[in-house]
């Protein structure tokens, strides 16, 4: 059960002019399953992307990087069921075959197609099935198919993830709509498993890489379920450039800020949705670290807390076993940390002061917060003025069950 | 159930001349439980220790470091039930009170006593109960009480951990006997939760700190259960100097090598016993990384694998989902890693070659190894000649149950 996350309605998802989406059943791994999704972009769209920093990056990630560099992207092809990762040279060939097949059907060059795969690692991609499924996916393409796409890219997700916002840019209403997927192997480093965000706003193509990076930094790169950075993380930002306002040539203008704000809001909702649907999650936890010397050290401490199996199981049990949080702060790797300056809060409850238990802290107050489904852990390091936060979930029996059974 | 680990017999544990041990019930946290252990050392013993690198180190760890610096240690006092960590200045006062109380009963200076605590974090140490329990523990002291001590320091351990060896040093038989405890919050960094190793060999007191460090590096510092470095890790090495051989003044002499070899063997067995008894463990896994540029990068990769919840749950399920291991290699943080040079073995089965699936690998071979209770994962990085290994266990439903219920 995802934490405070309900399925999106198709009506809540505004189509993005210039972007059509189609879904088909290609039997990639299992029959009777929508496992192949295509995005078709009208001419003139700009695309930016950020990808996993895992050195074992999947074949489609390598091909995406190449194709994005050559520009003028017109189609995205996404399969579930098989990640085409840990597949060596053969995997690269198969990712390219996917692009060639789609390009032939769409009368494009293969470099104009971006391939994405998610699913089991280290098994050969059944590219013949993808080729056979592509005509049906392309025939299905419609601007209003965002919900179908959100469903089409799910793997262990229990719920589809899609959000949409509209915002005024230069007096013109523009749309931002996005989808994401992912529930395990989630500690995005540059991007999440898969996230796609599109707007019809007009944005200078040269801004797209920086925009994608900044959006990922403020959203997917702050989410972690299990600390496992995937081989396939990909986050793609599309501007179809159909809206009738003056083209945005800088993100620092009022128009640029308005658009970026709306895109960041959707990206955050998508990233948080992945954590809310984290494998076995029963709680959504924000770990905020303040008073650090740098943002990087705040994140270092926040991730140590967010990845501690002991902290995560205590959240699952609603047990205010807060020493486990202090222990994680201590081993986070800040060698000159002064434990006597550290304060800890659970929501509004001041648990530890100066590195020790707050004399006025009462166990029942900690217990009250721990029973909530949304909890903010706040650590104050007392070293400086930097702050940052990450989002995570608890660690339950279901996490073990899901991951012990995923392939079998 | 601990993995291939049985309870030691009292008869298998050789007493160490010059070392007596007593145990008592002090009701530190629960009644009817042996929770207070004392080691009494005859005059002339040398003691070295290594302690947690967690910046939130517990009060007793701070006091131990001070007292070891002043030398001439004559007693160790160990309580379970309360870690006296995250307790600030008040915790330091209580750790010192423990030493003062023991010193008064034994006619020593407080600086001659080392305090150790393990158990719940961030609760005040009931030092009054420890004071009341000390006379009974001291009265109980006998050289042959090693098994009682191993039992007396257990917390979530399911089985006592104690090993003993005898070795010839300069034609004289000397004894090495040790105990350890720990099952969760185990990723020792300088030492494990608690480990005590004693020999009657004569060793120059100046060698003890280096000896303790080298032994920890070859044993406890290669063990991890959940990646959580404790606030209380302490590993103590005692030489009672009672044996009649010529004093060892260098570890590089034949006598020094013989003694160190025996001590390392016992320290490794103690460290591996902690992993075998890891919370919820059903399998004992050696992660060996070869072909690295440095030992440090080999350990970095080995820990990424050993800490991945996805890898650990796959071991629990006996599922050869080996892509998860490659993914962990990829995100371990070696930025110039070339994935096309990586080979992966499960015991003797060659799973991946050049970063991709080995064409001759058959799933049933991987399955056969994964079903074993002892498994070696071997990763060859193809970058150099360094190698290192860590020991870990799998991640089961019982880990979640144990840690969700520990305090309640």
- Tens of pLDDT, residue by residue over B82-91, are 999 888 889 9
For B103, the enclosing helix (H) or strand (E) is helix B88-106
- Predicted pLDDT of residue B187: 64
| Sequence-ordered list of residues with C-beta below 8 angstroms from that of B34, at least 6 positions apart, any chain | B23, B24, B25, B148, B151, B152
Dihedral sign for Cα A102, A104, A107, A111, please.
Answer: positive
For B21, the enclosing helix (H) or strand (E) is strand B19-25
- Predicted pLDDT of residue B376: 96
Catalytic residue among B98, B192, B199, B282: B192
**Residue bearing tokens 């010839």:** B168
ipTM for the whole complex:
0.75
Cα nearest neighbour of B187 on chain A: A331
Q: Binding site annotation covers B118?
A: no
- Predicted pLDDT of residue A127: 97
Taking contacts as CB-CB distances below 8 angstroms, the residues of chain B near A338 are: 55
A10-276: CATH topology:
3.60.70
Q: Binding site annotation covers A192?
A: yes
Q: How far is B309 from chain A (nearest CA, A)?
A: 6
The length of chain A in residues reads 408
* Residue pLDDT, tens place only, B251-269: 999 999 999 999 999 998 9
Q: How confident is the model at residue B42 (pLDDT cuts 50, 70, 90)?
A: very high
Q: How confident is the model at residue B227 (pLDDT cuts 50, 70, 90)?
A: confident
- Predicted pLDDT of residue A221: 84
**Nearest residue, CB atoms, A400 vs list B228, B313, B338:** B313
Dihedral sign for Cα A68, A176, A227, A296, please.
Answer: positive
Task: Verify whether the Cβ–Cβ distance A226 to B124 is below 8 Å.
Answer: no
| Sequence-ordered list of residues with C-beta below 8 angstroms from that of B27, at least 6 positions apart, any chain | B33, B35, B129, B133
Q: Binding site annotation covers A408?
A: yes
Q: Is the CB of residue B41 less than 8 Å from the CB of residue B80?
A: no
Taking contacts as CB-CB distances below 8 angstroms, the residues of chain A near B399 are: 309, 313, 400
Query: Stretch B221-236: mean pLDDT, rounded?
Result: 79
| Strands of B327-408, DSSP E | 343-346, 349-353, 356-357, 374-380, 386-393
Q: Binding site annotation covers A156?
A: no
**For residue B191, pLDDT beyond 80:** no
- Predicted pLDDT of residue A227: 72
DSSP state of B240: -
- Predicted pLDDT of residue A191: 41
* Residue pLDDT, tens place only, B274-311: 889 888 889 999 999 999 999 999 999 999 999 998 89
Q: How confident is the model at residue B408 (pLDDT cuts 50, 70, 90)?
A: very low
Q: How far is A148 from chain B (nearest CA, A)?
A: 29
Task: Verify whether the Cβ–Cβ distance A316 to B121 is below 8 Å.
Answer: no
Task: Verify whether the Cβ–Cβ distance B330 to A229 is below 8 Å.
Answer: yes
Calculate ∠ Cα A49-A51-A52, nearest 5°.
170
Instruction: Look at A55 and B78; give whichever has higher pLDDT.
Output: B78
Q: Which token pair is B381?
A: 């990085």
Within A277-334, where are the H helices?
Answer: 295-307, 309-316, 323-330
Q: Is the CB of residue A17 less than 8 Å from the CB of residue A242?
A: yes
* Residue pLDDT, tens place only, B307-361: 998 899 999 999 888 888 998 999 898 989 998 999 999 999 999 999 888 999 9
| Sequence-ordered list of residues with C-beta below 8 angstroms from that of B314, at least 6 positions apart, any chain | A403, A404, B320, B321, B324, B370
CATH entry 3.40.50.300 includes domain A284-405 = no
| B376 belongs to the catalytic site | no
Within B121-222, where are the H helices?
Answer: 127-139, 146-152, 208-217
pLDDT in tens, chain A (408 residues): 688 888 999 999 999 999 999 999 999 999 999 999 999 999 999 999 988 888 888 899 999 999 998 879 999 999 999 999 888 889 999 999 999 999 999 999 999 999 999 988 888 999 999 999 999 999 999 999 999 999 999 987 888 999 999 999 989 999 999 998 887 776 655 344 788 899 999 999 989 989 999 998 888 888 877 777 777 778 889 999 999 999 999 999 999 999 999 999 998 898 888 889 888 889 999 999 999 999 999 999 999 999 998 899 999 999 888 888 998 999 898 989 998 999 999 999 999 999 888 999 999 999 999 999 999 999 999 999 999 999 999 988 888 887 776 554
Task: Verify whether the Cβ–Cβ distance B322 to A122 is below 8 Å.
Answer: yes
Pairing between β-strand B34-41 and β-strand B75-82 as defined by DSSP bridges: antiparallel
Q: How far is CA B251 from the centre of its chain?
A: 22
- Predicted pLDDT of residue B18: 93
Taking contacts as CB-CB distances below 8 angstroms, the residues of chain B near A382 are: none
- Predicted pLDDT of residue B190: 39
Q: Binding site annotation covers A199?
A: no
Catalytic residue among A192, A199, A229, A282: A192
Task: Verify whether the Cβ–Cβ distance A331 to B86 is below 8 Å.
Answer: no
Taking contacts as CB-CB distances below 8 angstroms, the residues of chain A near B322 are: 86, 121-122
**What are residue A25's DSSP bridge partners?**
A34
Q: How far is B362 from chain A (nearest CA, A)?
A: 12
- Predicted pLDDT of residue A286: 95
Residue boundaries of the structural domains of chain A:
10-276, 284-405
Q: How far is B268 from chain A (nearest CA, A)?
A: 23
* Residue B61 main-chain phi, psi, to 5 deg: -65, -40
**Nearest residue, CB atoms, B330 vs list A54, A226, A337:** A54
């Amino acid at each position: 059960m995802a934490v405070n996350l309900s399925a999106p309605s198709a009506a809540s998802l505004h189509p993005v002019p210039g972007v059509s989406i189609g879904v088909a059943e290609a039997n990639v791994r299992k029959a009777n399953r929508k496992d192949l999704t295509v995005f078709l972009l009208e001419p003139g769209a700009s695309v930016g992307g950020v990808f996993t920093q895992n050195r074992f990056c999947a074949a489609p990630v390598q091909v995406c990087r190449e194709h994005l560099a050559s520009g003028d992207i017109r189609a995205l092809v996404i399969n579930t069921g098989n990640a085409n990762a840990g597949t060596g040279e053969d995997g690269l060939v198969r990712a390219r075959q996917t692009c060639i097949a789609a390009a032939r059907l769409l009368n494009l060059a293969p470099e104009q197609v971006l391939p994405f795969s998610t699913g089991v690692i280290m098994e050969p991609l059944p590219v013949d099935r993808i080729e056979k499924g592509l005509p049906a996916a392309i025939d299905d393409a419609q601007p209003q198919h965002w919900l179908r796409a959100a469903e089409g890219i799910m793997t262990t997700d229990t719920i589809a993830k899609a959000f949409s916002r509209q915002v005024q840019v230069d007096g013109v209403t523009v749309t931002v709509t996005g989808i994401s997927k992912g529930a395990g192997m989630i500690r995005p480093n540059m991007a999440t498993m898969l996230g796609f965000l599109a707007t019809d706003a007009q944005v200078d193509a040269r801004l797209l890489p920086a925009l994608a990076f900044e959006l990922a930094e403020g959203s997917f790169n702050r989410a972690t379920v299990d600390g496992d950075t995937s081989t396939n993380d990909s986050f793609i930002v599309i501007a179809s450039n159909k809206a009738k306002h003056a083209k945005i040539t800088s993100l620092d203008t009022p128009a640029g800020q308005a658009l970026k704000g709306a895109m960041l809001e959707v990206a955050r909702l998508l990233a948080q949705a992945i954590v809310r649907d984290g494998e076995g999650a029963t709680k959504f936890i924000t770990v905020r670290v303040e008073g650090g010397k740098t943002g990087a050290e705040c994140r270092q401490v926040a991730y140590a807390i967010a990845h501690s199996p002991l902290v995560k199981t205590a959240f699952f049990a609603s047990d205010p076993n807060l020493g486990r949080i202090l222990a994680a702060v201590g081993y986070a790797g800040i060698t000159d940390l002064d434990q006597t300056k550290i304060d800890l809060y659970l929501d509004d409850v001041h648990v530890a002061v100066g590195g020790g238990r707050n004399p006025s802290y009462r166990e029942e107050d900690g217990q009250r917060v721990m029973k909530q489904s949304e909890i903010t852990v706040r650590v104050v390091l007392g070293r400086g003025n930097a702050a940052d936060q990450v989002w995570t979930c608890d660690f339950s029996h279901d996490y073990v069950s899901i991951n012990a059974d995923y392939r079998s």
